[in-house]
Amino acid sequence: HDDHEGHDHGGIDPHFFTDPARMAVVVEELSEFLVANFPNVDQGFVSTANDYAQELIDLDEEVNEILSEIPQEGKVLVTNHAVFAYFADSYGFEILGEIIPSASTLSSANAQQLASLADELSSNSVKAIFADASASDTLARTLAAEVGGIEVITLFTESLGEPGSSGANYIEMVKFNAQAIASGLVG
């Protein structure tokens, strides 16, 4: 989904798409559901779904390889909002904090939460805050400037990039994000 405006996730984290292994399961289960419930489903669809599920499994392996350069103690994420729980779970990251502590961008951070997060960033020597390309990064930049020595890195999390960009499709988006995270946490 590429627009949070006007809705809330109601306590459910819909961001399972940040984990390509989970997405492979979604593709497989969706294919099985369609075949079971719609007898006219073309076998070409099933073959394409199986091929795509395999691409997602391969992508998961590639992401693991990209992220392997980050030492375990450096696998700490700070993001502009709660989007990477599934990613963190799959790839062994700790989520130190979110600027907007909710899965919905309709929420807002208060001054006390931001001050507490700034303290966490300072005491944990955080190198980067990861912000969504489709949302304002003003709070992230303000927080980074306040703490000092923190880079704000843009990721594709709530939308794909423009055609021809690094995030133009799901697979390219995931690769871009993994490379940007690795670069931000190792560099």
Please report how the helices 20-37 and 170-186 are oriented relative to each other, as an axis angle in degrees rounded to 10. 160
- C-alpha to C-alpha distance for 120 and 94, rounded to whole angstroms: 13
- C-alpha to C-alpha distance for 50 and 36, rounded to whole angstroms: 15
Q: What is the pLDDT of residue 9?
A: 43
Provide the token pair at 96.
């130190």
CATH number for the domain whose boundaries are 70-186: 3.40.50.1980
* Helical (H) or strand (E) element with 98: strand 94-100
Query: Over 60: is that where the pLDDT of 17 sits?
Result: yes
pLDDT tens digits, 54-106: 999 999 999 999 999 999 999 999 988 778 889 999 999 999 988 876 544 44
Q: What is the pLDDT of residue 5?
A: 41
Q: Where are the domains of the chain?
A: 16-66, 70-186
Q: How far is CA 145 from CA 107, 122, 152, 172, in A?
A: 22, 12, 10, 30
Q: What is the pLDDT of residue 33?
A: 94
Radius of gyration of the chain (CA): 18
